[in-house]
Structure 1
């Protein structure tokens, strides 16, 4: 394993984040603070508790998951798309760097950025609500798994995209609706029985549910199923990326 190559890609991508810290860090934190004001104060004043948990605290895992998914996908997609756009991807492909090393560099940086945002939002939430974490180790594990998995997904999107509009298409039109419909701001047990069944086809439900369990020791679906769901998506993304580099699809043409 060429760790120097992995570190070089990783440092380059992380440096890009700090060059645009306003967009990369401040913007997600400000938007999340607005969610707390709107949902936690305006709506929370009308909803006392959900499953015995204060509504302001109940939405924290959902808000963190929303931002981590968006940041993971967007950062990884832009990270690999920009070298394609300017043509430097050919230098990376021709260098003595293996596919796992390329993926580790780009995906590792994107996952790190998303994890940083998640932790910053967690700190921000403490100013708005009284928050206690029942399983902190499990919470961190869910965060890392989610960030890595969806950074891999974003990496695939970045390779698939032919322009900047397509890079932002999936996060805006797919990820955001799935999170909003995946129980980020409510428990799916509050839905009519038929809609509860429909909600179970949304993969984000399992992510939000498992992550919420790490905070409050309660979930809409068993935690084991949540872990299996993340694992299935992770393996599927790795399989797709392996096939892409083996065939050179969208990379060598």
Structure 2
């Protein structure tokens, strides 16, 4: 294992975060804080509790997950797309570095940024809504697993995209709607039976449900199912990444 190569890629990507601090950290934190103010403190105070949890506190895991997913994808997709765009990716591909070492460097940095951002958002939420974490170990587990999984997904998008517009297509038109419809602002048990069944085909439901369980001990689906679905998606992303580097898809042409 070439740890020097992993460390070099990782440090380079992390350094980019500090150069774009307003865009990478401050902007998503402020945007999410506005959700806490509007939906949590203002509207939430006039809404009934869900499963014994105030509405403002109930939406914290969903909003955190929304930021986590979008930022993980954005960080990883840009990190691999830009070297392709300027042609420096060939320096990495020609270096004595394995597939997994490249992935660990890029994805590790993207996931680290997302985890830090998620923790900052949770700390910010505590100023606006009553927040508690019943299972902190599981909270961190879901936070890290989700960040790594969607950083890998973003890595795939960055390889697939052939222009800057395509980098935004899937996050804006697919991931964000799925997150809003995945129980971020409500419990899927509140839906009619038909729509509840339809919602169970939304993979984000399992991420939000498992993450919310780590806070309050309540969930829309079993914690075991949430964890299993997250690991399945992670395995699928790893398989696709391996196939891309093995075939050279969008990398060697």
1:1-253 paired onto structure 2 within 5 Å: 1-253=1-253
CA distance in 2, matches of 1:8, 1:252: 22
Residues paired across the two proteins, number: 253
Give the RMSD, CA atoms, in angstroms: 0.6
Long gaps (5+) in structure 2? none
1:109-162, CA deviations, whole angstroms, 9 ceiling, x for partnerless residues?
Answer: 000010011000000001001111000000000000000000000000000000
CA distance in 1, matches of 2:168, 2:90: 23
Contact kept, 8 Å, 2:66 with 2:176, in 1: the verdict is yes
- 1:85 positional shift: 0.3
User: Is the partner of 1:50 in helix, strand or coil?
Assistant: coil
- 1:8 positional shift: 0.3
1:157-196, CA deviations, whole angstroms, 9 ceiling, x for partnerless residues?
Answer: 0000001100111111111000000000100001111110
Contact kept, 8 Å, 2:41 with 2:128, in 1: the verdict is no
Contact kept, 8 Å, 2:36 with 2:56, in 1: the verdict is yes
User: Is the partner of 2:131 in helix, strand or coil?
Assistant: coil
Runs of 4+ aligned structure 1 residues displaced above 6 Å come to: none
CA distance in 2, matches of 1:18, 1:173: 28
Contact kept, 8 Å, 2:159 with 2:251, in 1: the verdict is yes
What TM-score comes out, normalization by structure 1 length?
0.99
Contact kept, 8 Å, 2:45 with 2:56, in 1: the verdict is no
What TM-score comes out, normalization by structure 2 length?
0.99
Long gaps (5+) in structure 1? none
1:34-69, CA deviations, whole angstroms, 9 ceiling, x for partnerless residues?
Answer: 101221133213212111101110000001100000
CA distance in 2, matches of 1:6, 1:170: 28
CA distance in 1, matches of 2:118, 2:112: 10
User: Is the partner of 1:26 in helix, strand or coil?
Assistant: helix
Contact kept, 8 Å, 2:41 with 2:129, in 1: the verdict is no
